[in-house]
Structures are given as structure tokens and as C-alpha cells.
Amino acid sequence: MVNDFTMIQGDTQYIEYTCTRLNGTGVDLVTALDVRWGFTRYGDSSQDTIVAKTRQDGLSAVNNKVTVKLFPQDTVGLDGKFQYTIRITDETGDKFSDGGLFIINIASL
């Protein structure tokens, strides 16, 4: 479901996911009870979330696709390696989680 990526700090970044069950059917995100995405610094044992996204704040969920929008202010002043998690709670209460790594680089211009 999730892929690793690299971005430049302070850029707008769209991250897209297609959510399917193991049997290949799509997870209906329109009726999902909750969809969340967030990231922490890689290796941070405290696991303090740096940025969290919900449907009210930069995350859209249509059919079985999730799009997360990172705004410039979400990554200004950040650089290095980060880990992120996406968690979906479907209409029955079942939870699906996945995650990956990404790198924020400093702009060279």
C-alpha cells in the first residue's frame, strides 16, 4: 500500500495510496470510520508525532484511494530521515496500518 519517498523541505508534497485487502478488494474509505496519517523522526524512541493528518487537515479519502497533502509549513526546518504510518479503521471497526520511510532534504537553491 505504501511507498518510500524523498522530498525537499518546505515543498508541497502529495502522497497517494491505494488501499486494498489481502484478497484484492478495495477498502471503502468513504464509509471508513477513521483515516489518519502521521510521521515521526526515524529512530526517535519517544515516537512524538511531528505532523498528523486527518480528513479535516490535508487528507482526502475517496473510494479506496487516500491522498495526503503536506503543506510547506509541515516540513520547514526539517531534514533527515522520517518514518510514517497510515491507519484506516473501516466501517466494521477493523484496523489496517502500514508505513514506510522518507527523507526530507534541504533545498540547494
The CATH number that applies at residue 94 is 2.60.40.10
Q: Do residues 17 and 1 touch, judged by C-beta distance below 8 A? A: yes
**In which residue ranges of the chain is pLDDT below 70?**
1-2
Residue 107 makes CB contacts below 8 A (sequence gap 6+) with 8, 9, 10, 11
Q: Do β-strands 65-70 and 59-62 pair in parallel, antiparallel, or remain unpaired?
A: antiparallel
Give residue 69's pLDDT.
Answer: 97
E strands, 1-109, in order:
5-8, 13-18, 34-41, 51-53, 59-62, 65-70, 80-89, 95-105
Domain span holding position 47:
5-73+81-105
C-alpha to C-alpha distance for 32 and 42, rounded to whole angstroms: 29
pTM above 0.85, yes or no: yes
Give residue 36's pLDDT.
Answer: 96
Q: Do residues 109 and 11 touch, judged by C-beta distance below 8 A? A: no
Quote the number of domains for the chain.
1
C-alpha to C-alpha distance for 11 and 16, rounded to whole angstroms: 16
Give residue 1's pLDDT.
Answer: 54
